[in-house]
Amino acid sequence: MIRENQKVLNRVYLLCDILIIIISFVYAWLIKFEVFPPEHTMWWPLVHYMKFLIYLIPIYLVIYSFSGVYTPMRQIRLRFEMWNFFKANTIAILTFPVLLYVLKESDISRSFITIFYGVNVFFGWTFRFFLRKLLHAARRKGLNQKHMLIVGYSSAAESYIDRLISNPQWGYTIFGILDDDKQEGSKYRNIKVLGAISDLEEICASHTLDEIAITLRLRDYHKLEHIVAVCEKSGVHTQFVPDYNNVIPTTAHTEDIDGLPVINIRNVPLSNSFNKFIKRVVDIFGAVCMLIVFGIPMLIVSILVKLTSPGPLIFKQVRVGLHNKEFNMYKFRSMKIQDAGAEKKAWTTKNDPRVTSIGSFIRKTSIDELPQVFNVLKGDMSLVGPRPERPFFVEKFQEEIPRYNVKHQVRPGITGWAQVNGFRGDTSIRKRIDCDLYYIENWTLGLDFKILFLTFFKGFINKNAY
């Protein structure tokens, strides 16, 4: 039944995309030649433009298909779906000038092509947004469900079930669990263990299943080949959920070495030279812009720090950065002069008597961090990245928290994914490291811009800073 529903849904997508292309084409012509008509210029009527749709519609649909626009991915996030559609349209619109060249049409407005591109993307996004909301609402009510069988009971199975139950909009109904060690009839979150793994072939033959998720324990991987063979024989779509997420990152990077698949334990996009270069260019440009924008506020804070307490204006503190190298991180001094040895091993606490009158304000608003733009210009830090820690705490945390030192594979940042998610100051170190690892393994320039954007709205005020 679900396969038939998917076929119907794909046809709806296809027909609606054809309609959207036609409507966008007409809208683009009206905007270009009716709303903003070019002066002292003749233009072709709409009928002349419409003839290109005979070629464009098939081209667009083929590119949509090859770009994965019609691939059913219930669990894909909206932004990825929209990004795929945007990429497909970008590729497709580049074929328009080629088509005009082949057809020897030189009198077609290039600005019309640009308007058509923008309108088509907007209408396509709008359609997919509302259709997604409609499907999610239907699935929450128990409609358009996929029936799933879980093979193997493990921590991966529990995590997988938790996510499916927590997201009813994905539309999954879990039929049951098969496992050789769990007692038949036992339950996890009301999902019953139906029997042993040896019952898989019989269950596939006697029940209509849409998907099978293999979630074996690591010690049971010798059964994997047989399970996959049974699933392939049944014709049911099968997915593998590994039970080593504490070792392999969320986004595993695979390589093909002469036909042998190899999984890299840690994929760090910023180990790529081009990515490092682009990020560094953005850092320098951003740091210069920050100096221009915050130059006067920094001057005012400098005067206030000097007037309210004796001592140096800038506080230098040794932190651990890229490749575990130590560097001096700059801040506006917010505390009274104290013994260097005591400072290295102590957190700042609530109502800390060492904090000056102006220091409390600049710490809570993160103004004390502004001198770190000079660290960015020097190359010790980046605008965005994991926050650097003092050597004493690095030695402590690397013994207590698994994978802690992974954060030192990239430059530390003035702000980061942990900070915009609220993990600043006196908060959970483990959760902060989880955020740092997510950032390191999933870095994109877009993620950096997102973090910078969120920092302006919720990253400056720090309720955990004392």
> What is the separation of C-alpha 128 from the centre of its chain, rounded to a whole number of angstroms?
20
At 252 the pLDDT is 66
Contact, 210 vs 147, CB < 8 A?
A: yes
pLDDT given for residue 21 in this prediction:
94
Amino acid 342: pLDDT: 52
pLDDT of residue 276: 92
Domain(s) of CATH 3.40.50.720: residues in the chain: 146-245
How far from the centroid of its chain's Cα atoms is residue 122's Cα?
22
Could you say which DSSP state residue 150 is in?
Answer: E
pLDDT tens digit sequence for 295-313: 998 999 888 888 888 878 8
CA-wise closest residue to 405 among 420, 389, 421: 389
How far is the C-alpha of 148 from the C-alpha of 177, rounded, in Å?
9
Count of CB atoms within 10 A of residue 205's CB?
9
CATH of domain 146-245: 3.40.50.720
Q: b vs e for 423-448, b when ≥16 Cβ sit within 10 Å of the residue's Cβ?
A: bbeebebeebbbbbbbbbbebeeeeb
pLDDT at 434: 86
CB 419 within 8 A of CB 455: yes
Q: How far apart are CA 79 and CA 81, in angstroms?
A: 5
Q: Tokens 């802690």 correspond to what residue?
A: 404
Strands 146-151 and 172-178 come out as parallel
C-alpha dist (Å) from residue 296 to 34, 300, 357, 375, 414: 49, 6, 21, 19, 19
Spans in the chain with pLDDT lower than 50: 1-2, 466
* Residues with Cβ within 8 Å of residue 282, at least 6 apart in sequence: 383, 445, 448
Q: Which two tokens stand for residue 258?
A: 């002469």
